[in-house]
Structure 1
Amino acid sequence: MRSYRTYTIDEAKARMERYCAYRERCHKEVQQKLNEMRMIPEAIDLIIHHLITHNYLNETRYSTTFARGKFRIKKWGKQRIVRELKARDISQYNIKLALKEIPESEYYVAFHELSEKRWTQLDPETNLQKKKKKFSDYLLYRGWETNLIWDKLRELES
């Protein structure tokens, strides 16, 4: 039989404060962590309320930081960012605020740089259709809009 570590509410609060202070967290991550700690639902609600009131947990701050980071560092498009935020149960209001963090001019510049870099990375395929498919699949996976991808493909072909 396996024994599990048990936590008092105060110990769990302190642990969650450190967990949230390390980097931005969403409610879902904190909830999962508390479930892993085998806390009961009433204690989870109490701890999450404590974290929100003491500003350790803030979904608006989390979503804006997430969007900015994933765009600037990983070069994700808006569709991928929205998909990932929805997977973390972020509200539609916070998703819209997060997308406003990405300046339009920077967005298009990043898209053009990324697409041209990818086009040159692809081997000079003997079959142009294969190259176009690999190119579009790469950008679609990264969350860029289809109309941008097709326009860029037409531009690169000519």
Structure 2
Amino acid sequence: MYQKKKEFTISADAALAKVQFICSRQEKCCSDIRKKLQNWNLTPDDQDKVIESLIENKFIDEERYTNFYVRDKFRFNRWGRIKIIHHLKQKQIPEWIISTALEQIDEKEYADCLHDLLVSKMRSIKEDDSYQLKAKLFRFAQSRGFESSIILSILEDLIAGMK
């Protein structure tokens, strides 16, 4: 028989201690912590107090979080700027913080990353028609969050190099 799951509640002080531990182990943003506090059924006032305390004591820093997020998603996941921006906006990070963090991405490194991704993907695509190949590679690069202009310029070089 189905039993209703008991609701988990926690005091504000215990929640603060728990999220301080979580934030000391891994970078978190305010929206991540707020979701966790909501899951623990804290009142909105208590949530605000906990988050304010975390910010005052430097457990949460949106700029620091965003810088790490941008660097990690670009270097390890090989995401483009569009995808990174989209995910950060979902986490309710202010636009000025996002744009500042994106400036740390080196343009040459960005283009090289996209070039390597496209060369790697091109090896796995079995397509004789260059137009179809270009379309598939373009869609792939867009799904990774790269801008259309840089995708097209790199694709032109790659397709021209094949002929």
**What TM-score results when the alignment is normalised by the length of structure 1?**
0.92
Unaligned segments of structure 1, at least 5 residues: none
**SS of 2:76 mapped into structure 1:** helix
**Are 2:10 and 1:7 aligned?**
yes
1:33-112 → structure 2 map (5 Å cutoff): 33-112=36-115
Query: Which string of whole-angstrom CA distances, capped at 9 and with x for unpartnered residues, describes residues 103-142 of structure 1?
Result: 222112212222222222212x133333222211110011
4+ residue segments displaced more than 4 Å = none
Q: How far apart, in 2, do the equivalents of 1:111 and 1:128 lie?
A: 19
2:159 counterpart residue number: 157
Q: How far apart, in 2, do the equivalents of 1:2 and 1:99 lie?
A: 42
Between 1:45-54 and 1:109-118, the stretch displaced more is 109-118
**Are 2:32 and 1:25 aligned?**
no
Q: How far apart, in 2, do the equivalents of 1:152 and 1:3 lie?
A: 55
Residue type of the alignment partner of 1:12: A
Residue type of the alignment partner of 2:71: R
**Are 2:133 and 1:138 aligned?**
no
Fraction of identical pairs, as percent: 29
CA gap of 1:2–1:73, structure 2 versus 1, over 3 A, is closer
**What TM-score results when the alignment is normalised by the length of structure 2?**
0.90
Unaligned segments of structure 2, at least 5 residues: none
Q: How far apart, in 1, do the equivalents of 2:26 and 2:140 lie?
A: 29
Residue type of the alignment partner of 2:159: E
